[in-house]
Amino acid sequence: MVVLDKVRRKLGPGVEFYCEEFHAPEASQIALWGPSGCGKSTMLNLISGLLRPSSGVIKIDGIETQGLRSGQLDRLRGERFGFVFQTFNLLGPFTALQNVMLGMRFSDTRPAREWREHATHLLERVGLGHRLHARPGTMSVGERQRVAIARALAAGVMDLLLELCGENKVTLLLVTHDQKIAEHLPNRFDCTGLARETAQ
CA 87 to chain centre: 13
More confident: 120 or 154: 120
Domain boundaries, the chain: 1-84+162-200, 88-158
User: In 10 A of CB 194, how many CB atoms?
Assistant: 22
User: Phi and psi at residue 7, in whole multiples of 5°?
Assistant: -90, 130
Least confident interval from 109-123, 139-153, 156-170, 183-197: 156-170
| pLDDT at residue 93 is higher than 70 | yes
Reported as type and span, the H/E element at residue 126 is none
Asked whether 195 and 25 are in contact (CB, 8 A), the reply is: no
Reported as type and span, the H/E element at residue 77 is helix 70-80
DSSP classification of residue 87: T
pTM for the predicted model, two decimal places: 0.62
List strand residue ranges (DSSP E) for 128-194, in order: 159-161, 172-176, 187-190
The stretch 143-169 carries a mean pLDDT of 63
Position 76 confidence tier, pLDDT thresholds 50, 70, 90? confident
Q: Check if CATH label 2.40.10.120 holds for domain 1-84+162-200.
A: no
Distance CA 24, CA 2 (A): 5
For the chain, the farthest-separated pair of C-alpha atoms sits apart, in whole angstroms, at 58
